[in-house]
Amino acid sequence: MTMEAFNLANFKGGQTNPKGSDGKYPERATPGGYLCTVTGLKNSSEIEGYTSSPFIEFYLLTEDGKQANARFWVVKQTDKDSTKEWKKKQLKDFLMNCGVTEFNSDAEACKSAVNRRVQVALVSEEYVGKDKETGTLVKRTAVKYLWSSKIGKKLTYNSKYNKVLSADDQQLLDGMDALKSKFDTEPVAPKSFTRPAAATLPEDTDLPF
């Protein structure tokens, strides 16, 4: 596959998981192994205001009606050769496990995965986010795609792959909680305080090498 960031316009799908009869999206899947149907795909260029690392994302629906996503970071011209190969392999393995066999066009290969079935392993990852209403830092948990296998093949899932908050991020939260508690109970003028940068969901820099 020769996918590059500047080709993202060819991948526009705009398809998401369908809403239920109640007009709501399905419940999110929890960590584990699932047999899924690919219901659609989108890419980061379709998200208004998104300026971070480019990606392609597939929407998945489990057999028990829960939704999940499989996100793949797009190759960038500035990537190291090893990073480029790893990214391309991750995506091509997923597509092949979906049953895709034609790879003459990257975009068409991705689109042809829609409505196909695949087995996927999902894991959880804790991170520091911001509460939209209060603006305070909070611990959140994301469920992310780990790997896949073809229907009928062995799929491995182990809870050891779930990631908890790093010690530094936990210390950040603890410090913010302690500071909030102090000023909630002591009506004094706050001293100068510089908040450490909050952690965010890992992007394509969080690679296994």
Alpha-carbon gap, residue 177 to 179, rounded angstroms = 5
Task: Report pTM.
Answer: 0.76
Residue 73 · residue 203 · CB < 8 Å: yes
Distance CA 67, CA 6 (A): 29
**Which residues lie across from 32 on neighbouring strands?**
122
Q: What angle do CA 187, 191, 197 make, to 5 degrees?
A: 115
Structure tokens at 188: 């004094």
Domain ranges of the chain: 5-123+143-159
Q: Does residue 126 have a pLDDT over 50? A: yes
Which pLDDT value is given to residue 3? 55
- Would you state the pLDDT for residue 188? 45
pLDDT at 143 over 90: yes
**Apex 137 CA angle, 134 and 142, nearest 5:** 110
d(CA 136, CA 195): 11
Contact 70, 85 (CB under 8 A): no
3-state secondary structure the chain: CCCCHHHHHHHCCCCCCCCCCCCCCCCECCCEEEEEEEEEEEEHHHCCCCCCCCEEEEEEEECCCCEEEEEEECCCCCCCHHHHHHHHHHHHHHHHHHCCCCCCCHHHHHHCCCCCEEEEEEEEEEEEEECCCCCCEEEEEEEEEEEEECCCCCCCCCHHHCECCCHHHHHHHHHHHHHHHHHHHCCCCCCCCCCCCCCCCCCCCCCCC
pLDDT at residue 199 in the model:
43
Look over the chain and give the mean of its residue pLDDT values, rounded to a whole number.
Answer: 80
pLDDT exceeds cutoff 70 at 135:
yes
**Spatial CA neighbour of 53 closest among 202, 206, 203:** 203
Integer Cα distance of 4 and 17 in angstroms: 26
Q: What percent of the chain has pLDDT over 70?
A: 76
